[in-house]
Amino acid sequence: MLRFYAMQSSGNCYKVRLLLARLGLPFELVDVDLLRGENRTPDFLMKNPEGRVPLLELPGGRYLPESNAILFYLAEGTSLLPEAPLERAEVLRWMFFEQHSHEPNIGAARFWLKLVRGGRELRTHDIDRWLEEGYAALGVMERHLARRRFFVDGGLTIADLALYAHTHVAQEGEFDLTGFPAVQAWLARVAAAPGHVDMGWRPEASSQLVNIA
Ligand SMILES: N[C@@H](CCC(=O)N[C@@H](CS)C(=O)NCC(=O)O)C(=O)O
């Protein structure tokens, strides 16, 4: 069975749970508490030298980190990852955008302003930049989605799941989506697709990292 190391409140981890649920793939969830440093133990660093979640353990013992690499691997052969080279490249285009322009601003603002106690004081000098660059990323999404139902023509793909994860909780990073009606309509379309689960969803099989030898 797949084993998935994650933190429940992380948008990067939610992307992967969302895909696993949507595909109906059974997996064991292992909670890693970043705030207690469980991702920096020698044992965890053996699994992922970056010391980060999400991390997927495959049957046979290989490990795959990086949320979008995990999405790309798991979605192969499904309608969520088109076969045509140009459409595959467009999926990657939006997943690179997500990692370069979107998550480092919208995800970071939510992490420090909502999830870390005292985070606002610790990162005072970053907040204006996160807001400016995060709103710029939302503007790119708004212009693209004004004429489309999903990021890549043809239907829902993993590019939508990657971008949905942090966008649907952007208000927790103090972003106001009122001026982005196409983004809001797209969020509703993604959430209405069959197999959608919310961020709180967990599989039946789950454990805490410290219980794993
Ligand atoms: N680009 C990576 C980012 C992973 C990442 O930043 N994970 C955070 C949680 S969302 C983490 O593990 N942070 C702990 C640390 O960096 O020490 C991905 O998309 O998976």
Enumerate the domain spans of the chain.
2-78+199-211, 85-192
Ligand 1, pocket residues at CB < 6 Å: 10, 12, 34, 39, 51-54, 66-68, 99
Instruction: Note whether 2-78+199-211 and 85-192 share their fold.
Output: no
Atom of ligand 1 nearest to the CA of 107: 10
Strand spans (E) along the chain? 2-6, 27-31, 55-57, 63-65, 206-208
Determine whether 49 is exposed, middle or buried from the number of CB atoms within 10 Å of its CB (0-12, 13-18, 19+): exposed
Atom of ligand 1 nearest to the CA of 53: 12
**Is it the case that residue 212 has pLDDT exceeding 70?**
no
Q: Report percent pLDDT > 70 for the chain.
A: 98
Q: What share of the chain is helix, strand, coil (3-state, %, to 5)?
A: 55, 10, 35
Which of helix, strand or coil describes residue 101? helix
Give residue-wise pLDDT tens across range 151-203: 999 999 999 999 999 999 999 999 999 999 999 999 999 999 999 999 999 99
Q: Are the beta carbons of 158 and 190 closer than 8 angstroms? A: no
Atom of ligand 1 nearest to the CA of 34: 14
Least confident window among 32-36, 59-63, 140-144, 162-166: 32-36
The CATH number for 2-78+199-211, chosen from 3.40.30.10, 1.10.3210.10, 2.30.31.70, 3.40.50.720, is: 3.40.30.10
Mutate to test the pocket of ligand 1, among 52, 63, 106 (most ligand atoms within 8 A of CB): 52
Q: Which carries the bigger pLDDT value, residue 172 or residue 204?
A: 172
Whole-number Å distance, alpha carbon 149 to ligand 1 midpoint, is 29
Task: Note the pLDDT of residue 45.
Answer: 98
The whole-angstrom separation of Cα 9 and Cα 144 is: 28
Mean pLDDT on 203-210: 75
User: Tokens 């983004």, residue?
Assistant: 183
Task: Note the pLDDT of residue 210.
Answer: 58
Task: Note the pLDDT of residue 206.
Answer: 73
- Structure tokens that stand for 132 in this block: 């400016």
The whole-angstrom separation of Cα 43 and Cα 48 is: 9
**Is it the case that residue 213 has pLDDT exceeding 70?**
no
Q: What is the CA radius of gyration of the chain?
A: 17
Which CATH code is given to the segment(s) 85-192? 1.20.1050.10
The whole-angstrom separation of Cα 74 and Cα 72 is: 6
Q: Is the peptide bond before 65 cis (omega within 30 degrees of 0)?
A: no
Task: Note the pLDDT of residue 28.
Answer: 95
Whole-number Å distance, alpha carbon 8 to ligand 1 midpoint, is 12
Whole-number Å distance, alpha carbon 195 to ligand 1 midpoint, is 25
The whole-angstrom separation of Cα 43 and Cα 94 is: 33
* Predicted confidence band of residue 211 (pLDDT cuts 50, 70, 90): very low
How many residues appear in the chain? Answer: 213
